[in-house]
Amino acid sequence: MVIAVELDPRMVLELQRRFQGTPLSNRLKVIQGDVLKTDLPYFDICVANIPYQISSPLTFKLLNHQPSFRCAIIMFQREFAMRLVAQPGDTLYCRLSVNTQLYARVFHLLKVGKNNFRPPPKVDSSVVRVEPRKPRPQVNPKEWDGFIRICFIRKNKTLGSIFRMKNVLSLLEKNYKTLRALQPSQIGSSAGTDTEMDMSGLADYKEDQSSMDLDDGTDDEMEVEDGDDTEVSEFKEKVLAVLKEKNFYEKRSSKLSQEEFLYLLSRFNMAGIHFS
């Protein structure tokens, strides 16, 4: 059975017309609607040439689908595709790379030049294979997303610089005090690893398409709250102590592996520091 999702009613009618009266007509089901708003039925393999403006939300909608599918073969705008498959140290390595690769193995299959289309678009494309990881990683999606957002505020800054920022420390200290005020049972539930939570929040199309995380590599000044060394807050010391384990203080998000991010998040959580 092939299930097709199409928004344009004219294309739905054309597809039905082509298959009507053929031996394969009973093996095709066409769903008319917006794929982002459609409750997808079970599927094993996904093949799609999509509107590029829905690349990020569709990717995470598919990865959030249960039960997990075997693989998806999708054509994306080339820059988006290269961000999906980027590895630590690559220029395009960003939040999108880390979030996607947490939940899936991603492979670049082939480049599709703009001249393969009529009329030719303004951008090149790439075909990517996405294979969901089974089982899913045991991590709270909201906690992970909050952590990765902070790490990639400026991906080429050291983590020590980022976590000394006044607004970052203020946010983390607020979370810390809130959790400490809760009963132990509530802390356990709020800081747990609920893998059934919706991953759609990881998709951020505007940010994925922007150049905000394409740092120029310079170590220019940021709004960092250093304060007087004799008056360093207890909470700030707590945060920096975690970073200084395994020398994360001097490392940069642009070069950290998936395993290193997971390890650092677990160390923060063990110290009572949370990101959601």
233: left (phi over 0), alpha (psi -120 to 50) or beta: beta
34 has binding-site annotation: yes
DSSP single-letter state for residue 77: E
Quick one: tokens of 138?
């045991």
Cβ pair 200, 239 in contact under 8 A: no
SS3 46: strand
Angle at 162 between CA 148 and CA 226, to 5 degrees: 150
49 has binding-site annotation: yes
- Whole-angstrom Cα distance, residue 55 to residue 80? 8
Q: Would you mind telling me the total number of residues written for the chain in this entry?
A: 276
208 has binding-site annotation: no
SS3 75: strand
Nearest-CA neighbor of 167 among 221, 224, 212, 252?
224
207 has binding-site annotation: no
Residue listed under structure tokens 């009963």: 183
- Whole-angstrom Cα distance, residue 51 to residue 74? 11
SS3 32: strand
33: left (phi over 0), alpha (psi -120 to 50) or beta: left
Helix (H) or strand (E) holding 101: helix 95-103
Give binding residues as ranges: 1, 6, 34, 49
Give binding residues for S-adenosyl-L-methionine as ranges: 1, 6, 34, 49
